[in-house]
Amino acid sequence: MTINRRRVLIQGAAAAGFALLPGFEAAASQKPAVAKADLERAVSLSDYEAIARRRIERVAWEYISGAAADEITLRWNREALDHLMLDPRVLRDVSRVDTRTKVLGLELPYPVFLAPTALHKLAHPEGELATVTGAGKARAPMVLSTMSSTKLEDIAAKGKTPLWFQLYVQKDKGFTEQLVHRAEAAGYRALVVTVDTPVEGIRNRQDRAHFHLPPGVALENLRDLPTGGKWSPGTEKEVFANILPDRLTWKDIEWLQSLTKLPVLLKGVLNAEDADMAVRAGVAGILVSNHGARNLDTVPPTITALPRITDKVAGRIAVLMDGGVRRGTDVLKALALGANAVLIGRPVFWGLAADGAEGVANILNILRHEFEVAMVLTGRRTVAEIDRSVIWR
Ligand SMILES: Cc1cc2nc3c(=O)[nH]c(=O)nc-3n(C[C@H](O)[C@H](O)[C@H](O)COP(=O)(O)O)c2cc1C
């Protein structure tokens, strides 16, 4: 693919505000509609963050942006990426740069996925439907969360991009089995089992803001559970306490694999021994993730954990990484340290809140363009040429 130097973003940024979320009217009506000029000036993911911050109701903002306890790992996720320096090579013919890659049989134009995140209707009334439309426009695969605010079948019906399903194994095994079969029947192509959340982390910021679900927003995939997909009464903690199995072990991973023909990936691995156990358990891949720093504070940033894991795995299964990816150079660094692809979490909310599906497509296109430029400027023409020599040592 020849590098396209024209601006990749701002594709007819349909300006102005959108219909307001029920229950959020009071706050949102005081928020300024997004001016077209603001969107045209938004050239980086952090520009979208600034717009989203003005658009998203404060309680929801604290939920989305917040992390665990003192948010030290949240800071480290970024700092560790920032501190890695690049080692560019010159005088290589970079007139043709190819960002394409393959992950578990998926042909990707560039190695970025949408991470599974709960409740997109907090950022936009169309929620995950807008997200999947934006992902399709930017040709990025999406991992849908068990805790989505739109039914998994509705996303699959609308989605024009490859979909994976993120599974929070439920205490109710029968319900878990149903969820897996629903995802498989709807056409999801892989199962991403989140293994780092036996309980919810200490979420001080979200608790201080008294986060709750606004009326009209529910966990649509969980409607048949006793909680009826509601976050009420009370807080997310009760929902988590009802659904998350704190007894999940490697035996359950075997059981899950026996339920489905889909490839199974484990999300939330930071330890190299666990990565090795994952290989031996026969899973198709792992996601090196600290859950966007939302679970256990002071665990290492993912980019620091990554090389130990890719050394241990040694190419036997796919390894993806998320946590703080905000620039094309971050994508390059993760690939240099052995990741096959990266995922982005919070930036999807920023794109959604700023400009719905168009905003999601734009943040992905920005990242893609930045990644392409980073490859050109470091003299790496293909993804295969991105190895550890990209990092300054
Ligand atoms: C608001 C929010 C909701 C999330 N919900 C889920 C979820 O339902 N399941 C899951 O496995 N991870 C969830 N995550 C974690 C993301 O999948 C991902 O690991 C993380 O956001 C990546 O870091 P980043 O936000 O810095 O890009 C959530 C993260 C955020 C910010």
- Of 81, 309, 273, 294, nearest to 207 by C-alpha is 294
pLDDT at 16: 28
CA-CA distances (angstroms) from residue 177 to 61, 186, 255? 33, 14, 10
Of all atoms in ligand 1, which is nearest to the CA of residue 196? 11
- Angle (CA) 117 169 68, round 5°: 45
Of all atoms in ligand 1, which is nearest to the CA of residue 289? 19
Residue 132 beta carbon below 6 angstroms from any ligand 1 atom: no
Q: Which residues of the chain have pLDDT under 70?
A: 1-32, 227-228, 230-243, 245
CATH number for 72-390: choose from 3.40.50.920, 3.20.20.70, 3.40.228.10, 2.40.30.10. Answer: 3.20.20.70
Residue 345 beta carbon below 6 angstroms from any ligand 1 atom: yes
Q: Where are the domains of the chain?
A: 72-390
pLDDT at 172: 86
Residue 143 beta carbon below 6 angstroms from any ligand 1 atom: no
Ligand 1, atom 5, lies closest to the CA of 117
| CA 59, 63, 64, 70 torsion-angle sign | positive
Residue 328 beta carbon below 6 angstroms from any ligand 1 atom: no
Residue 51 beta carbon below 6 angstroms from any ligand 1 atom: no
pLDDT at 246: 73
pLDDT at 171: 84
- Residue in the structure block whose two tokens are 């993730």: 289
CA of 112 from ligand 1 middle (Å) equals 15
Out of 124, 181, 212, 291, pick the active-site residue: 291
CA distance 24 to 210: 15
Ligand 1, atom 28, lies closest to the CA of 117
Of all atoms in ligand 1, which is nearest to the CA of residue 324? 26
Residue 351 beta carbon below 6 angstroms from any ligand 1 atom: no
CA of 149 from ligand 1 middle (Å) equals 14
pLDDT at 247: 83
- Residue in the structure block whose two tokens are 């560019």: 88
CA of 387 from ligand 1 middle (Å) equals 27
Q: Is 120 a catalytic residue?
A: no
Of all atoms in ligand 1, which is nearest to the CA of residue 63? 1
CA distance 333 to 330: 5
Ligand 1, atom 6, lies closest to the CA of 117
Secondary structure of 314-360 in HEC code, one letter for each residue: CCCCEEEEECCCCCHHHHHHHHHCCCCEEEECHHHHHHHHHHHHHHH
pTM of the model: 0.92
CA distance 231 to 211: 10
